[in-house]
Structure formats: structure tokens, C-alpha cells
Amino acid sequence: MASVDIVHHTDEITAELMSLLLEADPDEGSILVYLPDSSVLVAKEGGSVVGVAVLVSAGKEFELKNIAVSEMHQGRGVAKRLIKEVKALAINMGAEELLVGTGNSSLSQLALYQKCGFRMSHIETDFFLTYPESIYENGIQCRDLVVLRAKLSG
């Protein structure tokens, strides 16, 4: 496996990046709302984009808003590296905690976030029922937003 480099992305969001972002959040409208005020980190391998993560800060609230890894690069530690870099960036920006939200049906994501130090915080019931199309993962309808929180200091 070639090394994966994480870069802070400041250029416009390409179709390739948007395609990855849509894998994690199928609502393009909501992505377009949070991207302008975000820090975007891109994982590249051999010059090709293999992953992306989006950090949003609103005052003291910091959130890993989106993270996606191309299918052929999943299971190789790319997401863990992106999360580590997002945490470091959040700390540098003054964050003490980092939030991340995922669907109740996103079983592998729930496992990943907990492996990366996030703990369950709260559930926003029926959050995904407002999306334009129903989402199903692992044979489960995605209905609720599960919010996890990681302490970044002490």
C-alpha cells in the first residue's frame, strides 16, 4: 500500500470530491450550505483523491460534518488518519470537544467513531425523515441522527 497524504484543501470542490461527500451525506443542498465555512481535508494516494473530511466550527462548537473514503480504499486506515488530522486541526483552532453525527443504520461508522475515541452523546429522532429520499443501510431505514462526542484535551 502506498502512503496516504492528508492535505488541507482550499481550492474549489471538484466533482470528484463532491461525489465522495455525497457518499456520506446524500443531501447535496445541505453539503453546499456547510462547505463555505468549513475546513476540508483530502486524503491522496499517488496523486489520486481517496478520502475527504470536513470540519465545521461555529463558535465553540466543532463538528466533523462529513467524512468519506472511496470504496476501494476502505478498511485501510484512511478514515482513521483523516479523523486524527481533523482532531489535530480542531485542537489548533481552540476546540476542546469534537462532535460527529451519523445515522442509526450506519453500523460501520458507529464502530469507527467509537474506535477513534468518540462516545455517544444524544439522538435526534426522525432527523433523516426530512431528507428528500429515504435512506436504507444494512437493511435498516435511516431515521435517527446519532451524535457522538470526543474530548480533545485532558
Per-residue pLDDT of the chain (154 residues; tens, 9 = 90+): 345 566 666 567 888 889 999 988 888 888 888 888 889 999 988 888 899 999 999 777 899 999 999 999 999 999 999 999 999 999 999 999 999 999 999 999 999 999 999 999 999 999 999 888 899 999 999 999 999 999 997 5
- In single-letter form, the type of residue at position 12 comes to E
- In single-letter form, the type of residue at position 90 comes to A
pTM of the model: 0.88
State residue 2's pLDDT score: 44
Q: Supply the angle between the helices 78-92 and 107-115 in degrees, to the nearest 10.
A: 50
Cα R_g (the chain), whole angstroms: 15
3-state helix, strand, coil in the chain (%, to 5): 35, 35, 30
